[in-house]
Amino acid sequence: MNRRFFINLFQVASLIMLLVAVAMLSAITTMHFAIHGAEVQVPSLKGMTVSDARSQAAGMGLNLNVDNRYYSGEVAAGHILTQSPAPGTVVRREWHVRVAESLGPQKVDVPDTVGDDQRIAAFQLRRSGLDVGVTAKLPDSAVAEGTVISQDPPAHAQGIERPSVNLLVAVPEDENADGYVMPDLTGLPIVAAQAELARVGIKTGIPTFVDIPVPPVGAGNAPPVPLVAPGSIVAQAPLGGARVDQTMEIQLTVAK
């Protein structure tokens, strides 16, 4: 009797263990499908219209956000230039896919706002279909407070990337600047550029001097290429239009 009792007990224990194993396997399988069923691969959206891309993303349970807009000569206006995450990336449903929309080729003329009051300059830019980008302050007693003393890109610039213009605005000498729009220094003598940057407390690193080849003389009706004056700036970092402050060091490349 004791032997039969232990055999029955063993059979019951084995059955319980089998049921536990089946339950665990079922739970793991359910969890696997729950996790992976909520994942999708990000589709390739580049070149699609924003409306078509939004519809495709929504059909896959994804959200589409247009973060930036750029001019482009290759991608038609209203179509997507870039996306993040990249196509094929596995993400959870409800993930936000961020894209940049093409504005097509640049067709607007950048107005000249230098010398205008900041509010008038902003109105001119918006009337031209442009946005006001970074607005930085520079103490300057030579002009009225709120006057635009520099802009980037400059007036009538071609081949610009963003539909926005950064402004540098004059403030009283006793007001602290909160940053500056980096001017385009190319072509200026190194000494003059260093002095202008030092005047507002911006440091420059040790200049890099490079040899500049002499351009060939123009043939026929082709205009001659102007010579680069020795001691003039041929490159800079950061580029013009970037926001800079006194904690940064500007790198300048100068013609020998």
Q: Using CA atoms, how far apart are residues 251 and 205, in angstroms rounded to an integer?
A: 5
pLDDT of residue 56: 92
What's the pLDDT band for 189 if we cut at 50, 70, 90? confident
Going by pLDDT thresholds of 50, 70 and 90, the confidence category of residue 150 is confident
Closest CA to 255 of 189, 194, 182: 189
Taking residue 67's Cβ as centre, other Cβ atoms within 10 Å add up to 12
| Distance (Å, whole) CA 148 – CA 140 | 11
Closest CA to 200 of 254, 149, 146: 149
Positive or negative, the CA dihedral 184, 190, 192, 194 is positive
Pick the CATH number of 39-102 from 3.40.1010.10, 3.30.10.20, 3.40.350.10, 3.40.50.620: 3.30.10.20
Q: Are 78 and 133 in contact, with CB atoms under 8 Å apart? A: no
CATH number for 183-256: choose from 3.30.70.2470, 3.30.10.20, 3.40.1390.10, 3.40.1380.10.
3.30.10.20
pLDDT > 90: what percent of the chain? Answer: 25
Q: Where are the domains of the chain?
A: 1-35, 39-102, 108-181, 183-256
CATH fold of 108-181 reads: Trypsin Inhibitor V; Chain A (3.30.10)
pLDDT at 121: 95
pLDDT for the residue 54: 93
Alpha carbon distances (Å) from 88 to 32, 42, 57: 20, 5, 13
Beta strands in the chain (DSSP E): 39-41, 63-70, 80-84, 90-92, 96-102, 131-139, 148-152, 164-171, 180-181, 203-204, 208-210, 233-237, 243-244, 249-255
Q: Is 33 helix (H, G, I), strand (E, B) or coil?
A: helix
- Do 183-256 and 108-181 have the same topology in CATH? yes
